[in-house]
Amino acid sequence: MNNRVLNTAEYYNPDTNQWTLITPMGTPRYRLGVVAYMGHIFAVGGSDGNRVLNTAEYYNPDTNQWTLITPMGTHRYKLGVVAYMGHIFAVGGSDGSRDLSSAEAYDPVTNTWYDVPEMVHRHSYFAGKHVDIKYHFIRSSVNNGDITLVYCPTNKMVADVLTKPATKCNTVFLGRCFYIVGSGLRWTDPCNRVWRYNLVTHTWQEMSPMQESRYLMSVTVLKGYIYAMGGRRDDDVISHRTAERYQPNINQWTFIASMNEERIRASCTTLNNKIYICGGWSNRVLNTAEYYNPDTNQWTLITPMGTHRYKLGVVAYMVFKDIRRTNV
């Protein structure tokens, strides 16, 4: 199969179980960051297959049009993107030659990007979700006293490896904590490790490992649990269709029902108290999608996408009384 980079996009309507193509993006992108904000879908950075991008654009569902915004100051792909306090934050990623510890924020009112304080350690393959609380790399919050930056000497850190680039992890927020899931902080580390950073006490703690080692997986949060789905084992040979969830109050991972297909480099989101996972790779690029219902512990296949996709972005958003999901 010709793994061409796509600029197409489509949305899924759960009421009709149908996918519909929308206007293509202005630029083909993969390993981009996507986020929904104020009724628009923002597609940020990524690669067009030839170069790492610093461009970004947003989709307006009312006009079915994509509009370019001011480019970022740094070229980024494999980045995390999150909406917080009226801004769009682009965090970490890679510029094609090195992993990045920098972050920048976009102000939709002025159509400008500005730098924010750097992270402690660099991140690529950075999958970020904005749930419960949001990213704390925010200058205005520091200036307002909402967030305090605390120096942590080496001898008080949980592990020095946390100052090294994290290469095979996903990140989520839950409660007042920031979790790094499946953190191969070094290439020799097992990919079942989980770390938690407490934003109140400013401390790192290693949590119970996942039941299985996995990277290139999909991670999200639903109803107070962290879910990890699919991915590939440490040996880079075995892909998973297994899934598991983490319960923070007892610090325990438990297997849930397995997906219908093995998936790596898929993307997931939550909608109507269900987890939707779309596309990915399983010996081929997939166009299949399915959702998990935690009440029944079952995965259900939905209508396949019109296009086979992996390294994609998936986000759920609401337009008036209609709820739609867009893949880019």
The CATH number assigned to the domain holding 121 equals: 2.120.10.80
Does residue 287 form part of some domain? yes
Into how many domains does the chain fold?
1
Percentage of residues in the chain having pLDDT higher than 90:
53
Percentage of residues in the chain having pLDDT higher than 70:
77
Q: Specify the pLDDT at position 178.
A: 76
* Per-residue pLDDT tens digits for 88-144: 888 888 999 988 878 888 999 999 999 876 544 444 444 554 333 333 344 444 455
* Per-residue pLDDT tens digits for 10-66: 999 999 999 999 999 999 999 999 999 988 999 999 999 999 999 999 999 999 999
Does residue 4 form part of some domain? no
Does residue 2 form part of some domain? no
Does residue 253 form part of some domain? yes
Q: Specify the pLDDT at position 321.
A: 44
State which residues form the domain around 290. Answer: 9-327
In the predicted model, is pLDDT for residue 225 greater than 90? yes
Nearest partner of 265 among 220, 299, 311, 232, judged by Cα: 311
DSSP 163: G
Q: Which of 4-8, 229-233, 314-318 has the highest mean pLDDT?
A: 4-8
Q: Specify the pLDDT at position 235.
A: 67
Does residue 125 form part of some domain? yes
Nearest partner of 194 among 218, 228, 224, 234, judged by Cα: 228
Comparison of pLDDT for 189 and 321, the residue scoring more: 189
Does residue 233 form part of some domain? yes
**Residue bearing tokens 């750097």:** 118
At 243, the pLDDT band (50, 70, 90 cuts) reads very high
Does residue 122 form part of some domain? yes
Alpha-carbon distance of 157 to 268, in angstroms, equals: 32
In the predicted model, is pLDDT for residue 300 greater than 90? yes
Alpha-carbon distance of 130 to 35, in angstroms, equals: 9
Let me know: does 220 contact 227? Beta carbons within 8 Å: yes
Q: Specify the pLDDT at position 218.
A: 93
